[in-house]
Homo-oligomer: A and B are copies of this chain.
């Protein structure tokens, strides 16, 4: 086996992936990856039957015939298209997960590619979770090393870095050797793509979908000895030079296996862009008057991090998809309805006349003094009363009970044919399962 070069960042990373042992990993890290898996499955089931998912599957019908099963659906595709579809359905509700320091939704590309691959071969629950963890770890470390400039410049980081996670995870499942893993990273880097201009359209979830498929394909190409640049992160005209925002430094490999970046993953409590969440938390923190009438409100000022204004100052989103990226819409539905579930980010909600009128009263202000996880809300009521709420710093993580509740709600919303109790019981023993595909099979509707 070819010796990897210790002076190459790319090769050090893949050697670490190759050497990693599940038994060396702390139980708290194992628990966090299990939560990421549970949250991802909830999102994939929640989005499985959305009209947009139906439309995508119709569009792909001429392509990719095969035997890979889709989560929560009856159709089958080849593993590449199954990965693509899973990433789309698990993202379409914008309810997935968030690694706050980068803005990456880490599970999407990785789990989607893994499920697609695992449905065609026998993979133990433990091997699945291990590959999932390694994929998210590499993806987040690469993401950190290009942050914040990469996303700020217009790269949809969940896609552009997610492709690495999918390649690493599937490559690990395939037991690629370090040279092959390095090629897989090379194939992933040269397919890295996804423009922020796609946000607010179906192409946004497709960015992540392409990345899941492309990552899986990268591993498959490498497994057949198809070469790529095997030092692509640091190479001349490689990933960091072309798509990064600052010179690649050693931090990307610091504390590998000790400080698990992927274990800082969080799960969305609201089905919309993560940059809206602090503002929603501020709205929902108004205890004494949880619901307002339109006429009560004179004006609302929302202070947010400048990036949040750039991404999400959208006074009148044209449809449900765009409403998930509108700070004004989020504030309006939270204050008028006192609720923030998936039914508040639909085409109907986006075009609701009362919501529309409320959005016109809301002003978004870029505030250099705030982090992306902070917001400040000032509501001027017609009565003359002024309500102020400020959200500072990271919110507490979702409790196991809240995550279970989210799981049940999403199953009921998108895959009502599934039995949540049975799925939750199986998830609890997933690390002991001999064949991960048995869990996937439980989600398929019986004809």
Contacts and interface: CB of A to CB of B under 8 A. Distances in A.
A147 interface: no
A190 B194 contact: yes
* Interface magnitude class on chain A: 35 or more
A197 B237 contact: yes
Interface string A208-224: 00100010010011011
Nearest to A210: B191
A2 interface: no
A232 interface: yes
Contact of A206 (B60, B64, B221): B221
B190 A59 contact: no
A283 to B, nearest CB: 27
Nearest to A120: B62
A303 interface: no
Contacts of A58: 224
Nearest to A187: B203
Interface in A374-423: none
A291 interface: no
A3 interface: no
Contacts of A226: 52, 55-56, 59, 202-203, 206
A213 to B, nearest CB: 9
A242 B199 CA distance: 14
A445 interface: no
A227 B242 contact: no
Contact of A232 (B120, B195, B236): B195
Interface of A: 52, 55-56, 58-60, 62-66, 78-81, 120, 153-156, 183, 186-187, 189-203, 206-207, 210, 214, 217, 220-221, 223-229, 232, 235-239, 241-242, 321
